[in-house]
Amino acid sequence: MQIKNLPYRDPGKPDVRSGARFLAWLFRNQLGGQARALGWGLLNQLSIAGLAVATGIAVQAVVDRDGTRLAWAGGLLAVLGVAIGLGETMLHRATVTNWITAAARVQQLLARKTAELGSVLTRRVAAGEVVAVSGGDVEKIGWFVEAFSRFLAAATTVLIVSGALVIYQPALGVVVAIGFPLVALAVLPLLPHASRRADVQRDKAGYATELAADTVAGLRVLRGIGGEELFLDRYRSASQEVRKAAVRAARTWSLISALQTLVPGALMLTVVVYGAHLALDGRITVGELVTVYSAVLLAQHPLRNVEEIALAYAYSMPSAKRAARVLALRRTSTTTDREHGRPTGDLYDPVTGVLAPEGLLTAVVCGDPDAAGTLAERLGGHPAADVVSAGASPVGTGAGTADGEPAAADGPRTDSVLLGEVPLDELPLDEARAAVLVQDKEPVLLSGTLRELMDVPSSGRVSAADALDAAQCADVLTALGRASGHSGGSGDPMETPITERGRSLSGGQRQRLALARSLVTDPEVLVLDEPTSAVDSHTEARIAAGLRRLRDDRTTVVFASSPLLLDLADRVVLVDGESVAAVGTHRELLRSEPRYRAVVTRETDPGADREAGVPA
């Protein structure tokens, strides 16, 4: 895989049983790139080691006053220089390619998992942890994957040099062959301690990232209540904890670096002293001493890769564990190979008993807003409890299989939401989402122009203009057009950029644009959770009429407590606790159901007039 061919058509199915297995899986998927990096690394490292031979020949030629051998040594040095330059250039190219492609693979896997789980992901994993995995963790994982091939090249070079020195000059070669492993293994006792400190630093950094993300997301609210300083102090404290953890980790790595300097220095001193003694005794020539000395000196370069791979492993392992933990999350759906065709019909939740007849506008009233959000997710096939770690056995679905997939159920799951006769859990995820669209209470607007925002997969039946009109976005279009004109743009509101998460818009404007985007898709079933909570009553009444007009022959479920929306619904369902308590029209329930009246009119006296709140 070359960088120009990214992204991957299919990033594959990762081994998420552990961080080490995940790293090994990434390595196996890059065998071609790793082989190229290993080959160029060997050319580079062996050419560097060959400088010792050429230098020794040159020195001995000077001592012997042999011009031919000196010229031959000079030519060899020139060839080795070219090989070093070529090897270094191509090694850098190969390793950077391995790094970027490995990081891209992990990012694609994370994006795929996020799309699969949707809003349920942040119920199981903190948003800050997801940000940390897709940011810094991806880079650290890619670093280890690319560094491993350079480490293999360095280790192979050291073995070849050690064997060659033993053959070339046994007396000094044995010393070097014993010293090289000591140099390489000197830092091993410190690695577990360094890894633990890296884990602590990683956890604290993840918490700080999560805190920063939450603070930025709620900055407008914090300013409204004067809570900026409180959260700023919390972030200061968290960032100081990260700094302290980083300093403690750096101390360990500084000690490892010191050992990487001290131990090779001791080996070098031993070789010089012992070699000088052998040369004075006439047991070796000056050229042989220079060759061995140069070989030991130049071997410090590949030995440095031992320190780097240790550092990369210590920092990438916590990152790999975190990534594997996120990627191990999966839905408990029982997708089958059964052909269902395009599902149509009533939407029914057997757990609560909520029924949304086909082609009608059904309003659902819940006294608990959290329960409403959970029920909305269930109707979309994304229950909050519908995510487990790979290998776990989801409750009610039987044991997990050996490869971590859920065991197939013997029949349709009785707790799955049904669209017609088809359980949503038996549909592939993309088909389920195409059939049922759920708009959250706080939908997110991505950055881009308004035209790009409205360019979503749709049936083509509803135009962007109709959707914007139904969602009462005329003032939003005017404001965007004015902003475009002032900034030197075309003045076309559809071409006006919208900032990330729509931060330049008010809450009501964001909510209406999100509603227009949902209306454009024109799904078989549309579930809206409080779509007008941030607008005034006049705008809400017009939105209700527009919604009813555009969704006249489509199944629509609206979670709301506003009489303006409820009075336009074909049927209203009152959910009390975990089951349906009453069904009827808005006016019927106002007259006959005290619990409904208490939610809709905020009435607290059960004996109050039953006609209160009934529209004239």
Give residue-wise pLDDT tens across range 172-196: 888 888 888 887 777 778 777 777 8
- Binned at pLDDT 50, 70 and 90, residue 205 comes out as confident
CA distance 15 to 403: 10
Which tokens go with 605?
């006296």
Half-sphere exposure of 472 (CA within 13 A, CB side): 19
CA distance 101 to 8: 9
Helix (H, G, I), strand (E, B) or coil at 348: strand
The residue-averaged pLDDT of 227-240 equals 79
| Residue 489 pLDDT > 80 | no
DSSP code, position 557: E
Is the separation of the CB atoms in 48 and 301 below 8 Å? yes
Q: What share of the chain is helix, strand, coil (3-state, %, to 5)?
A: 65, 10, 30
Q: Which domains does the chain have, with CATH numbers?
A: 16-327 (1.20.1560.10), 347-381+416-600 (3.40.50.300)
CA distance 263 to 92: 28
- pLDDT tens for 380-402 read 876 544 444 554 444 333 333 33
Q: Write down the pLDDT at residue 178.
A: 85
- pLDDT tens for 34-50 read 999 999 999 988 888 88
CA distance 387 to 384: 7
Query: Chain-wide mean pLDDT for the chain?
Result: 81
Q: Write down the pLDDT at residue 299.
A: 76
Is the separation of the CB atoms in 351 and 423 below 8 Å? no
The residue-averaged pLDDT of 506-519 equals 90
With vertex at residue 61, the alpha carbon angle to CA 57 and CA 66, rounded to the nearest 5 degrees, is: 140
Dmax over Cα atoms in the chain, in whole Å?
119
Half-sphere exposure of 572 (CA within 13 A, CB side): 27
Q: Which residues lie below 8 Å from residue 175, measured CB to CB, with a gap of 6+?
A: 270, 271, 274
CA distance 444 to 436: 18
**Pairing, β 361-366 against β 555-559:** parallel
Residue 558 class from Cβ within 10 Å (0-12 exposed, 13-18 middle, 19+ buried)?
Answer: buried
The residue-averaged pLDDT of 342-367 equals 90
CA distance 596 to 365: 8
| Residue 516 pLDDT > 90 | yes
Q: pLDDT over 90 for what percent of the chain? A: 20
Q: Write down the pLDDT at residue 211.
A: 76
Q: Which residues lie below 8 Å from residue 208, measured CB to CB, with a gap of 6+?
A: 128, 235, 238, 239, 241, 242
Smallest CA-to-CA distance from 557 within 417, 457, 431 is with 417
CA distance 260 to 175: 18
Greater confidence, 204 or 307?
Answer: 204
CA distance 372 to 378: 10
**Pairing, β 571-576 against β 361-366:** parallel
Is the separation of the CB atoms in 42 and 152 below 8 Å? no
CA distance 158 to 163: 9
Task: Spell out the long-range contacts of 281-286 with Cβ–Cβ below 8 A and sequence spacing 24 or more.
Answer: 283/171, 284/169, 284/171, 284/172, 285/60, 285/63, 286/59, 286/60, 286/63
**Which string of DSSP letters, residue by residue, matches 450-517?**
HHHHH-----SSS-HHHHHHHTT-HHHHHHHHHHHHHTTS---GGGSEE-GGGTTS-HHHHHHHHHHH
With vertex at residue 444, the alpha carbon angle to CA 136 and CA 434, rounded to the nearest 5 degrees, is: 105
Which has the minimum average pLDDT: 136-150, 299-313, 404-418?
A: 404-418
Which has the minimum average pLDDT: 57-66, 262-271, 306-315, 345-354?
A: 306-315
pTM of the model: 0.64
Write phi, then psi, for 185 (nearest 5 degrees). Answer: -95, 0
CA distance 39 to 169: 28
Greater confidence, 67 or 253?
Answer: 67
Q: Which residues lie below 8 Å from residue 69, measured CB to CB, with a gap of 6+?
A: 57, 60, 61
Is the separation of the CB atoms in 109 and 284 below 8 Å? no
**Which string of DSSP letters, residue by residue, matches 37-84?**
HHHHHHHHHHHHHHHHHHHHHHHHHHHHT-HHHHHHHHHHHHHHHHHH
- pLDDT tens for 549-590 read 999 888 999 999 899 899 999 999 999 888 899 999 999 999
The residue-averaged pLDDT of 490-514 equals 82
